[in-house]
Amino acid sequence: MTNDRAVGIHDLSFRTGSLVLTHAELSKHTGASVAKYHKGLGQQAMSLPAADEDIVTMAADAAAPIIERHGTDRICTLLFATETSIDQSKAAGVYVHSLLNLPSNIRVVELKQACYGATAALQFAAALVQREPEQQVLVLASDIACYDLDSPGEATQGAAAVAMLVSVDPSLVEINTPSGLYTHDVMDFWRPNYRATALVNGKKSMAAYLAAVEGAWHDYQAREGLSIEKIRTVCYHQPFTRMAFKAHRHLLDTAGVEADATATDHAIAPTTHYNEIIGNSYTASLYLALASLLDAEDELDAETLGFFSYGSGSVAEFFTGRVVPGYRAQLRTTAHLEAISRRRDIDYNAYRRVHTQPLPDDGSQHRLPHQTQGSFRLSGMEDHQRIYEAVH
Ligand code: HMG
What are the pLDDT digits (tens) for 212-271? Answer: 999 999 999 999 999 999 999 999 999 999 999 999 999 999 999 987 889 899 999 999
The complex's ipTM?
Answer: 0.99
Phi, psi at 123, each rounded to 5°: -70, -40
Phi, psi at 15, each rounded to 5°: -135, 165
202 CA to middle of ligand 1, Å? 7
Active site (annotated) includes residue 115: yes
Active site (annotated) includes residue 237: yes
40 CA to middle of ligand 1, Å? 7
Give the separation between CA 204 and CA 208, rounded to whole angstroms: 6
Give the separation between CA 366 and CA 86, rounded to whole angstroms: 16
User: What local confidence, expressed as pLDDT, does residue 154 receive?
Assistant: 98
pLDDT per position as a tens digit, 257-314: 987 889 899 999 999 999 999 999 999 999 999 999 999 999 999 999 999 999 999 9
- Mutation to probe ligand 1, out of 41, 183, 288 (largest number of atoms < 8 A from CB): 41
Give the separation between CA 288 and CA 273, rounded to whole angstroms: 9
* Cα–Cα separations (whole angstroms), residue 282 to 48, 49, 134, 171: 13, 14, 31, 25
Q: Is the CB–ligand 1 distance for residue 35 below 6 Å?
A: yes
Q: Which residues contact 134 (CB under 8 A, 6 or more apart)?
A: 74
Predicted TM-score (pTM) of this structure: 0.98
User: What local confidence, expressed as pLDDT, does residue 357 receive?
Assistant: 67
Q: Is the CB–ligand 1 distance for residue 155 below 6 Å?
A: yes
User: Which atom of ligand 1 is closest in space to residue 152's alpha carbon?
Assistant: 3
Four-point Cα dihedral 282, 287, 290, 291, nearest 10: -100
Q: Is the CB–ligand 1 distance for residue 282 below 6 Å?
A: yes
**Topology of domain 7-351, per CATH?**
Peroxisomal Thiolase; Chain A, domain 1 (3.40.47)
Is the predicted pLDDT of residue 347 greater than 70, yes or no?
yes
371 CA to middle of ligand 1, Å? 31
Element holding 130 (H helix, E strand): helix 117-131
Active site (annotated) includes residue 83: yes
The annotation status of 105 as a binding-site residue, yes or no, is no
| Burial group, residue 41, by CB count within 10 angstroms (0-12, 13-18, 19+) | buried
